[in-house]
Structure 1
Amino acid sequence: MNFQHTEDRRMLADTLNRFVSEQYGFVKRDELACSESGFSRELWVRFAELGVVGALFDDADGGFGGDGFDIAVVFESLGRGLVVEPFLGALAVGHALAHAGNDAHKPLIASLIEGRAVAAFAHDEPGSHYELARVSTCADRGPNGWVLAGVKTVVQQGAEADFYLVSARTSGTAEAEEGISLFVVPREMPGLEVRGYRNIDGGRAAEVHLNEVCVPDAALLGERDKGFATLETSIGAGVLALCAEALGAMEVAKEHTLEYLRTRKQFGVAIGSFQALQHRMADLLLEIEQARSSVINAAAAFGGSRVERERALSAAKYTIGRVGAQVAEESIQLHGGIGMTWELPLAHYAKRLVMIDHQLGDEDHHLERYITLSRS
């Protein structure tokens, strides 16, 4: 199999990497991450104008990509710059709209591709422990549509979202795959309470409280009770994106560490000449290449059968979680005390790598899921 990127993907990666390096330096990124909104609407539009968001969707949905490798190329570049704009929400929500939506949902996808809107994926709940089918938020039939009640946690960019994709249970038990439905909920709906907060790795998330939120029948995405397949596909795209983002962050952490070993001197020589540190760095480089292989495998399997796709995604997320923690720890230790300082970009890359492991399932969850899928 040929794993070389197409000319279009190479051009996209070059354009995005250049834009991030020139317009999204660490000082700028830190300023945005610490801002009240956690990102820049202006930069979100500029990313969209470059075609970065459009590369995440196929032609039928108004984009020009949508393949697993398109997602990987974009998010690896975003990971290199620790970009905090709401790409993950746009990807997850947009893929759900494309998977289960109809012509009425095309304008919503277009608004994401053009950078005119911000979408948030509201699925995780207190105590869900990454289990996709564990949904307690309920949706009951009302006189004019549906009434949603429940709480969603760690909703990325939730306080700034223009609309949400909310999972809710319309039938069945709290952990059954059957009985989950998806709803598109505008931000301004009465009864919707959003409590935003900062993440330790930059950017913002929110708790979303649905206090008897009434939505019309048109808010239902796809068929009633049949939302699990869409949910799994959407989160699968998010898992691939996070793995690629982590790979980009690992590459930068590696580059910074190598540069430090070449320039930091002790006893009159660069510390990179010490054999013990060389061995540690060599082990780290091998682990990063292993992580890269897992991302390539997941991207290649993204368009395959369900079991093949989900196994590859869980294998990649497990590998990324394990290697990401190792890269964060080793990079900081090889830098010494300076590696922990807020002013050094490396500390922020290390935080992001650790946090990625906890988004959409940590390494323990995905190892167990991989074993379960391998038995099926």
Structure 2
Amino acid sequence: MTYLLSEEEQMLRDSAKAFLEEKSPVSELRRLRDEGCKDGFRHAVWQEMGEMGWNGIVIPEEYGGVDMGFTAAGLILQEMGKTLAATPFLASSILCATALRMGGTDAQKSEHLPKIAAGEKVYALAVDEKARHDANSIEATASKDGNGFKLSGKKRHVVCGNGADILIVAARTDDGSIGLFLVDPSAQGVTRTLRRSIDSQAPADIDFDEVKLDGDALLSETDDGRALLDAVLNAGRACLAAEQLGVAEEAFERTIDYIKEREQFGQKIGSFQGLQHRAAHLLTEVEMTQSLVMKALRQLDESPSQAPLWIAAAKAKATKVGRLAAAEAIQMHGGVGMTDEYEIGFFYKRAQAAGEFLGDDAWGAAQVATMSGY
């Protein structure tokens, strides 16, 4: 296992950096916020990403993808973190694509994966039902109804849920096991309520009132729906940790640039020993996070059975360091860091929101302790 990037991975990261700086900079997130965009992202940019092959990064070539793996996906998300790119990439191309790849039938894969890869449709995963992430507390039900199912329940904070064309919903079947179901959000009985999160994203709360589903709505290639859901969420956590790393890196770089230029008492504030010590500490934390995130992504690609421990550790560390980097950035920017005029505040908000999604640092630490036998 190597932490060094291959030539192909380096080229992917460079192209992602150039594309995102042009098409999805922080100013674009500000514009989406100020315009009150109901979906929270530009569909045109999503389609362009499909043309570049990004949306099919973990999708097999036979279904229109490029199948480069989770490390490659993490490299893209790391660059997305640096520009705070508002896209359905994590929701569609990682969470939902992984669910379909691992749990979909051949017919389901053939129908849905090419649409994700091409950027033709947006997919969203609906799991959480409470204010905080808890994949074990699923009360939504999918009861047998003839040859199909009736879906009832509530889902909260469905990322990209308001702009999604298709939902993948986690629900309990009649025997109490977990199943993942493909749901058309325009179907009778589905109600979507737009929410605005602190990081200017547009998640949705979604209610299901006896929504009728065909029998082929269930992702049934695997018999263990719980294991499938866990695998999907772990893939999302590893890739989200890469995005959080990008947020931390960019917050750090912007802060270093600022303290090198800002003058106080007749000298650059970067010459103050106190700020130098804080910056040095933050650099070591960011570097450790980078190593841990890369380890988790490589494990997911090369030894997936051994990946959960590293993924939990990476998500916990990335959450903690992302929030630290953003908080230190606000502190070192001084009063202007609190104003909306400066973009650094957007990084603070994203660090807070991303830290809660799919499990915060306390959740990750508890998982590491449990898996380590404590």
| Smaller-chain TM-score bracket | over 0.9
Distance across 1 between alignment mates of 2:26 and 2:318: 23
Pairwise CA distance, 1:144: 4.3
User: Alpha carbon RMSD of aligned pairs, Å?
Assistant: 1.7
Distance across 1 between alignment mates of 2:223 and 2:373: 26
- Verify the 8 A CA contact 1:170 1:225 in the aligned structure 2: no
1:374 pairs with 2:372: yes
1:64 pairs with 2:83: no
Aligned position for 1:264:
262
Pairwise CA distance, 1:32: 2.1
Distance change >3 Å, CA 300–CA 25, structure 1 → 2: closer
Q: How many residues align?
A: 370
Pairwise CA distance, 1:241: 1.3
Deviations 1:196-240 (A, max 9, x none): 111110220011100000000010111686211111111111101
Distance across 1 between alignment mates of 2:126 and 2:9: 30
SS at match of 1:194: strand
- Verify the 8 A CA contact 1:133 1:180 in the aligned structure 2: no
- Verify the 8 A CA contact 1:180 1:224 in the aligned structure 2: no
Matches within 5 A, 1:46-125: 46-90=48-92, 91-105=94-108, 106-125=110-129
SS at match of 2:187: coil
More displaced, 65-74 or 234-243? Answer: 65-74
Distance change >3 Å, CA 25–CA 130, structure 1 → 2: closer
Aligned position for 2:306:
308
1:10 is matched by which residue type in structure 2? Q
Deviations 1:78-135 (A, max 9, x none): 11110111111111011000001122122211101100000010011126x5332321
Match of 1:146 among 135, 141, 149: 149
Matches within 5 A, 1:8-23: 8-23=8-23
2:134 is matched by which residue type in structure 1? E
Question: Kindly, what percent of the aligned residue pairs are identical?
Answer: 33
Distance change >3 Å, CA 232–CA 66, structure 1 → 2: farther
Structure 2 unmatched runs, 5+:
none
Aligned position for 1:273:
271
SS at match of 2:254: helix
- TM-score normalised to structure 2 length: 0.95
Aligned position for 1:294:
292
- TM-score normalised to structure 1 length: 0.94
Deviations 1:20-68 (A, max 9, x none): 1122232222112442221111111111112111223343543223423
- Verify the 8 A CA contact 2:157 2:203 in the aligned structure 1: yes
Structure 1 unmatched runs, 5+:
174-178
Aligned position for 1:364:
362
Distance across 1 between alignment mates of 2:70 and 2:42: 27
Pairwise CA distance, 1:143: 2.6
